[in-house]
Structure 1
Amino acid sequence: MFSRIGEAIYESEAVAKTSDFTVGLEIEMQRIDEAGNLSQEPYPAGIGDEQTNPWITNDFLETMSETVTPSAKHSLDAMHYLYRLNNCLRSALAPGEMLWPLSMPPRLPEDKSKLVLAKMGPKKEAYLKEWAKRHGYSQGTPCGAHLSLSIDQHVIDLVLQKFPDYFSDERAVRNHLYTVVAQGFVRYRWLLTYLFGASPVAEAGYFDKDDFLAHPLRSIRQSKYGFGTKFKGDYTNLTAYINRIEEGVKQGILTSNYEFHGPVRFKGNRNLKDLPKKGIEYLELRMLDLDPSSSVGIRTGTVRFIRLLASYFIMHPAMKESEVTPLLDKANQMNQITAAEEPTAPSRYQATALAIIRHLEHYANQIQLGPEYSEILEDFEDRVVNPMTTPSVRLLNYVQDGSLEEYALRRARRYQRAALETLHPFRGFEDGRIYTADELRKELAW
């Protein structure tokens, strides 16, 4: 059943526009040496300056490379940009350097203070030092795939036109739609953890000597043992979202609003307090492990699935404001349970997961999406029915003495060789040029 907004969009024959999100990708990967240690090499000179190049930069550690694509209208374009930037980074690495393909880091030294924090300027470095002091170095090292989603302007204009008594202006429409989509992703984050969790074990040094896991997990990164701050956001509405983060800073739980690392972040104005003035401009989704079966850490089918989910959330009834907090609290618990499950066991929420996938199949047919979406949903239904087909279990096949190092190095070498064999890698950052998004799109389109 569509919501009133969904019905208006459907009747206006604009439902296809709800999946036409503009997509941006951010992929984190650790630089390593041939032996599987974190690299001792500096930020690669062939990709400019880490403090000024917004497209290939560092995050937390000096070895944690972050590749950022310009936004794209289509999933394939976003993936094309990512492949070209990933090859650009790889071709600039020092001899013997590679990119670690797993979310959990390679082996870490016993003395974590020897790890070099990202050299991103005095202000950022001070923040990173304080963060490491509060949370420990290990919890800053897991890498992931982040997606940014921006709703098609035609959808926003249409909703404003159809509901002038409900929305005062375009900003109000954007805030409402983005909040609904954010709530949907937080509510079903556990399903993404099941489908895409790919961090069943940790390498030596990640846990302290007295800490250990009783068994492999679906996703260490998405569990309580994973990345950093566990501060819970409030997604009831934009005002509640901002107030919750500011309260966290005021109480000293967060060092700054930048430290809020929830599964979804509202993005727009850089200053959180100014976000209400212009409204939410896009969402940042932060709940995906790296996919080691892809050289760039994510697959096109995953991006398409995320876009389908977002479209589904726009078209269907939103949660009542009074229900948001209890429902999302329950969803967070479900995510922790899912992340910590034995990977080879069926999900505790298998029946619910199957119901969601089948709803999505019905929806995809209803709005006449292409056969590629049917194939994706069939594949994910198989993953729900048979946990042995999930990424985390596939990785368990390669675990030796509790480690995935041999597998990761084999993949890293293969991906590095392939990148170095690229005939015309993008080298536009060598002279330190800073590209706008439009300029970079044109360069990467070759």
Structure 2
Amino acid sequence: MLQCAGCDGVRLLSEPGMAALLRGALRGWERECLRVDPTGELACTPHPRTLGAKGTHPWITTDYAEPLLEFITPPAPDVGETLDFLRNVHRYAARRIGDEWLWAGSMPCRIGRDEDIPIAHYGTTNEARFRQVYREGLGLRYGKAMQTIAGAHYNWSLPAPFWEALYERCPQQPSLRAEVDERYFGLVRNMLRFGWLVLYLFGASPAVGASFVQGRSTRLHALGASTLYGPWATSLRMSRLGYQNRVQDKLVIGCNSLKEYVRTLDAAVRTPDPYYATLGVREGAAWKQLSAHVLQTEAEWYAPIRPKRTDAAGLRPAQALRAHGVQYVEVRLLDIDPFIDIGVHAQQAHFLDTLLLLCLLRASPPISPREYAENDENLHRVAAGGRDPRLHLLLHNREYPMRALAHRLVDDMLPVAEVLDAAHAGQEHRNALAAARACIDDPGSTPSARVLNAVQQAGGHATFALEQARVHTAALQSQPLTPFWQERMDRSVADSLTEDERLHALPQEPFEDYVARYLGG
């Protein structure tokens, strides 16, 4: 199962010096989190100035909505280091949001009408207006409620010395850069095949407040008047109730090569959509969306995993990939764990490190249109009903029991976990696999089952999540920052405000020209 075009992946990792190079792998977290008031309503206050300028702060920003915080860690080679960083950012923020709380979980608090959800405002520069208009377009296309969902993204890459050593031992492409790109895209394809296991193991959103549904018809069950849930659901966030839309259901962004990915993604940004055209791009001087194309920008593509390049200033994401290749991958499958104050934990990282490395080493044939649909169907089946003991998934057009497939995949991961544990002189990766096996054998021990049980005991989603928000925010506020971290965070806030003022003092070209230049590049 680990064959890669004539090379045995585990054998390569076991060669002298190879495993040690894995210690240089980089990972980072992005955690989204709503601000709410003590009654559980969406906060209507602006992004606190005490957290800095959201457009220029490196670690504290907002996502779609003004109250949707996003905490970001820089890449680091140690799992514990990234989580410590994330915890310190949470501690700092929790002290500076007044009497508001950090919402616990992926599905939002009670929300009212779409028009009452405040879009994030970044200022008056062209870049700031571009961000805001993009978000206006998301609200116009999909509704603002969908943009209040929170998730966690895991960013992962392997170090240059590892790639050089791997290419020396098992070259498959004409250049090192082509080798790196092809292997990362092989990883992406395999994660599209196997990402359903991440939803099963770490999905934590089986229930949602009825206000989120806003009258839409669903197959969910009612718990009282205010909560809807899926009896076997793992992640409503990743189900057809969550990050979905009419056009993207039919959109295929090819992942069989970097060239295909860039071509199809760029085409989606440039292809007009008749429905979006009827919505209009502008109404007088007011912009409603950036364009009437299938995607306004590449960021609008809601993929479970993305190849990324972020160190190419001035280039659109597709252009950066075309010019410089893949820098890292962004895994977007993780729900916020409402039982954990920072929403994520180390075992997730150790499991993902093992799965990602397996996906990189494993043979990864091209994905046909039929298989794209099959992979998508498997993801939705697990999101909506992953804990159902009768659940089957599709593999080459045939149905197989989900749990048998899950055990087979974890079996394949074990040799990789052993190599990683040897490299790090520990057993965390094997422990993560043991915990995964336990969850496969006992669906009641999964986070989604535990969340659903807690929601039922609390009498509703909002009651459960609000209490978790109160407890977590208080716990974070009670954890003191060291003088080093206090000074570091204070300086980052001051620097972001200074940089924001500098950017706003620069002359700006007409916004229409800025948009045309960006999208036309």
Fold shared per TM-score above 0.5? yes
Checking the alignment, whether the CA contact within 8 Å between 1:45 and 1:430 is kept in structure 2 is no
SS, match of residue 39 in structure 1: coil
- Say if 2:438 is the partner of 1:432: no
Q: Greater CA deviation, 217-226 or 271-280?
A: 271-280
Q: What does residue 388 of structure 1 align with?
A: 444
The CA deviation at 1:24 is 1.0
Once residues 153 and 421 of structure 2 are traced to their aligned partners in structure 1, the CA distance between those partners, rounded to angstroms, is: 28
Alpha-carbon displacement from aligned partner over 1:2-60 (angstroms, at most 9, x marks no partner): 43162444334413534742001000000001000011222122211112113100011
Checking the alignment, whether the CA contact within 8 Å between 2:357 and 2:416 is kept in structure 1 is no
Once residues 181 and 112 of structure 1 are traced to their aligned partners in structure 2, the CA distance between those partners, rounded to angstroms, is: 38
Checking the alignment, whether the CA contact within 8 Å between 2:91 and 2:481 is kept in structure 1 is no
Q: TM-score, normalised by structure 2?
A: 0.78
Alpha-carbon displacement from aligned partner over 1:265-303 (angstroms, at most 9, x marks no partner): 111144212422211111111111111121111110001
Once residues 41 and 138 of structure 1 are traced to their aligned partners in structure 2, the CA distance between those partners, rounded to angstroms, is: 17
Once residues 51 and 107 of structure 1 are traced to their aligned partners in structure 2, the CA distance between those partners, rounded to angstroms, is: 27
Q: What does residue 235 of structure 1 align with?
A: 255
For the pair shown, the structure with the greater C-alpha radius of gyration is 2
Q: Identify if the C-alpha distance between structure 1 residues 184 and 419 changes in structure 2 by more than 3 Å, giving closer, same or farther.
A: same
5 Å-filtered alignment, 1:13-412, equals 13-18=17-22, 20-94=24-98, 96-109=99-112, 111-120=113-122, 121-163=128-170, 166-215=172-221, 216=230, 217-229=233-245, 230=248, 231-251=251-271, 252-268=293-309, 269=312, 270-271=315-316, 272-316=318-362, 318-321=363-366, 323=367, 325-341=369-385, 343=387, 345=389, 347-348=391-392, 349-365=402-418, 368-369=421-422, 370-400=426-456, 403-412=460-469
Checking the alignment, whether the CA contact within 8 Å between 1:223 and 1:340 is kept in structure 2 is yes
Q: Which amino acid aligns with 2:87?
A: Y
Q: Which amino acid aligns with 1:394?
A: R
Q: TM-score, normalised by structure 1?
A: 0.90
Checking the alignment, whether the CA contact within 8 Å between 2:421 and 2:430 is kept in structure 1 is no
Checking the alignment, whether the CA contact within 8 Å between 2:103 and 2:109 is kept in structure 1 is yes
Q: Identify if the C-alpha distance between structure 1 residues 20 and 300 changes in structure 2 by more than 3 Å, giving closer, same or farther.
A: same
Once residues 407 and 320 of structure 2 are traced to their aligned partners in structure 1, the CA distance between those partners, rounded to angstroms, is: 41
The CA deviation at 1:394 is 0.5
Number of equivalent positions: 430
Q: Greater CA deviation, 422-431 or 84-93?
A: 422-431
Unaligned runs of 5+ in 1: 436-446
Fraction of identical pairs, as percent:
24
Once residues 84 and 115 of structure 1 are traced to their aligned partners in structure 2, the CA distance between those partners, rounded to angstroms, is: 28
Q: Which amino acid aligns with 1:112?
A: D
Once residues 306 and 430 of structure 1 are traced to their aligned partners in structure 2, the CA distance between those partners, rounded to angstroms, is: 30
Alpha-carbon displacement from aligned partner over 1:339-372 (angstroms, at most 9, x marks no partner): 1116464643111001111222244236654322
Once residues 368 and 45 of structure 1 are traced to their aligned partners in structure 2, the CA distance between those partners, rounded to angstroms, is: 43
CA RMSD in angstroms, aligned pairs only: 2.2
Once residues 30 and 182 of structure 1 are traced to their aligned partners in structure 2, the CA distance between those partners, rounded to angstroms, is: 29
Once residues 27 and 390 of structure 2 are traced to their aligned partners in structure 1, the CA distance between those partners, rounded to angstroms, is: 32
Q: Greater CA deviation, 136-145 or 212-221?
A: 212-221
